[in-house]
Amino acid sequence: MNCIDFRRAIFTNPRQPDESARAHSRECAACRDFLEKQREMDAELFAALQVPPPDGLADRILVARGLRPGRRPWAWAVAATFVLAAGIAWVGGSLTGGDPLGREAIAHVVHEPQSLTTTHAVSNDMLPAMLADQGMKAVRALGQVTYARFCPMDGRIARHVVVRTAEGPVTLLLMPEDPAGRRRALTHVDGMSAVTIPAARGSIAIVAATASQVLAVEKALIVS
């Protein structure tokens, strides 16, 4: 791949360059810089497109369908500070090995790459409250929260949170509604690592670029 092909490919999708584009960026500093700038621009575009939705939109849709709005998800007042949204996890074919929930968690993060590039600070009060809702707490501050959304995973809603740690972004997928009884499992897929752990209520998946990052965050979480 030459520089022109690389830039065309990056303009098409800066989030998921293919292997030949990744190989080119390792060898070409100018194209690496181009990729970083384009990713920043995509993150800025994503943020700029986030027009505030009308309050109570989902409730009105459900009422209009004759479906009584269910019990509101946890801490709706806090949730109102960030958007309900999601991506159903889907990544083509290369996922192998490891725990199914870990694979799904990695696929989810790969499919929502803007979660890792967005750098807007989100209230740090939220994560301890979410952990407490699952009977857990962090024994130390994990880092600045820069992303928080509700996402559907396996038919349930997961709280998708990204924390900026000193070693880089780490994703926590908090699933209080996940049936109890999961075993701890470590998964490595597509150059990413995930550890899935049972919480006092539900499960938690921790995803990052390296196993040491996920293990460091796992170590900081205890039953409260």
Two structure tokens written together for 41:
């621009």
Distance CA(12)–CA(100), nearest Å, equals 30
Site for another protein in 181-200 (CB under 8 A): none
Q: Residue 159 carries which side chain, given as an amino acid letter?
A: R
Site for another protein in 75-94 (CB under 8 A): 81, 83-90
* Contact call for residue 172 and another protein (CB under 8 A): no
* Contact call for residue 49 and another protein (CB under 8 A): yes
| CB-nearer residue toward another protein: 14 or 102 | 14
How many residues bind another protein (CB under 8 A)? The answer is 51
Site for another protein in 118-157 (CB under 8 A): 119-121, 150-152, 155-157
Residues shown for the chain? 224
The residue written with tokens 């349930």 in the block is 156
Residue 112 near residue 160, CB atoms below 8 Å: yes
* Contact call for residue 3 and another protein (CB under 8 A): no
| CB-nearer residue toward another protein: 50 or 96 | 50
Distance CA(198)–CA(66), nearest Å, equals 36
Q: Which of 3, 23, 58, 132 binds another protein (CB under 8 A)?
A: 58
Site string for another protein, 4-43 (x = CB under 8 A): ----x--xxxx-----------------------x--xx-
* Contact call for residue 70 and another protein (CB under 8 A): yes
Residue 222 near residue 186, CB atoms below 8 Å: no
Alpha carbon 218 to chain centroid, angstroms: 16
Q: Which of 4, 29, 64, 166 binds another protein (CB under 8 A)?
A: 64
User: What radius of gyration, in Å, describes the C-alpha atoms of the chain?
Assistant: 18
Residue 195 near residue 214, CB atoms below 8 Å: yes
Residue 176 to residues 147, 160, 167, Cα–Cα distance (Å): 18, 12, 27
Binding site for another protein (CB under 8 A): 8, 11-14, 38, 41-42, 44-54, 57-58, 60-62, 64-65, 67, 69-70, 73, 81, 83-90, 111-112, 114, 119-121, 150-152, 155-157
